[in-house]
Amino acid sequence: MPRVPIHMPQLGESIAEATIREIGIAAGDEVKADQEIFQVETDKAMMGVTTPASGAVLEIVAAIDESYAVGATLAYLEVTEEEIQRAGLNKSGDTGPVQPLPETPSGSDRGDNAASSTEESDTAGVHFAVSEENMIASGPDERPEVKPTIEGLPVPASATGASYLSPRMKARMEELGLNAADLAGVAGSGAGGRVTIEDFEKFIREIEKNKTTEASPMRIAVADSMRRSWSRPLATVGVPVVLDEVIAHRRRQDPKPGIALYAIRALAIALAENTAVAGRLVGERIVHPTAIDIGFAVEVDDGVLVPVIREVDGKRLAELADYYDLLVQKARERKLPPEARGAGIATVTNFGTFGIVWATPIPLPEQNLVLGLGAGTKVPHWDPETETFVPKTEAHLTLSFDHRILDGGAAGRLLQRIGGLLQEPDTL
Tens of pLDDT, residue by residue over 175-231, are 888 877 777 777 777 766 677 888 888 888 888 888 878 877 778 888 888 888 888
Q: Which class for 393: exposed (0-12), middle (13-18), buried (19 or more C-beta within 10 A)?
A: middle
With a pLDDT cut of 70, the percent of the chain lying above it is 80
> What pLDDT was estimated at residue 129?
42
Q: Which of 8-22, 273-287, 293-307, 397-411 has the lowest mean pLDDT?
A: 8-22
Q: Which residue has the higher pLDDT, 400 or 300?
A: 400
User: In the predicted model, what is the mean pLDDT of the chain?
Assistant: 80
> What pLDDT was estimated at residue 348?
96
> What pLDDT was estimated at residue 142?
46
pLDDT grade, residue 151 (50/70/90)? very low
pLDDT grade, residue 14 (50/70/90)? low
Q: Which residue has the higher pLDDT, 200 or 359?
A: 359
Residue 417 near residue 273 (C-beta atoms within 8 A): yes
Q: Domains in the chain and their CATH numbers?
A: 3-148 (2.40.50.100), 167-212 (4.10.320), 219-427 (3.30.559.10)
Among 79-93, 213-227, 303-317, 330-344, top mean pLDDT goes to: 303-317
Phi/psi at 79 (nearest 5 deg)? -130, 165
- Residue 303, CA atoms < 13 Å, CB-side half-sphere: 18
**DSSP bridge partners of 390:** 381
pLDDT in tens, 259-318: 999 999 999 999 999 998 988 888 888 889 999 999 999 998 778 889 999 999 999 999
- Res. 94: pLDDT tops 70: no
**Long-range contacts: 331-340, Cβ < 8 Å, 24+?**
331/298, 331/300, 331/305, 331/307, 332/298, 332/300, 334/300, 334/305, 336/305, 336/307, 339/310, 340/307, 340/308, 340/309
d(CA 39, CA 49) in angstroms, rounded, equals 6
- Res. 379: pLDDT tops 50: yes
- Res. 20: pLDDT tops 80: yes
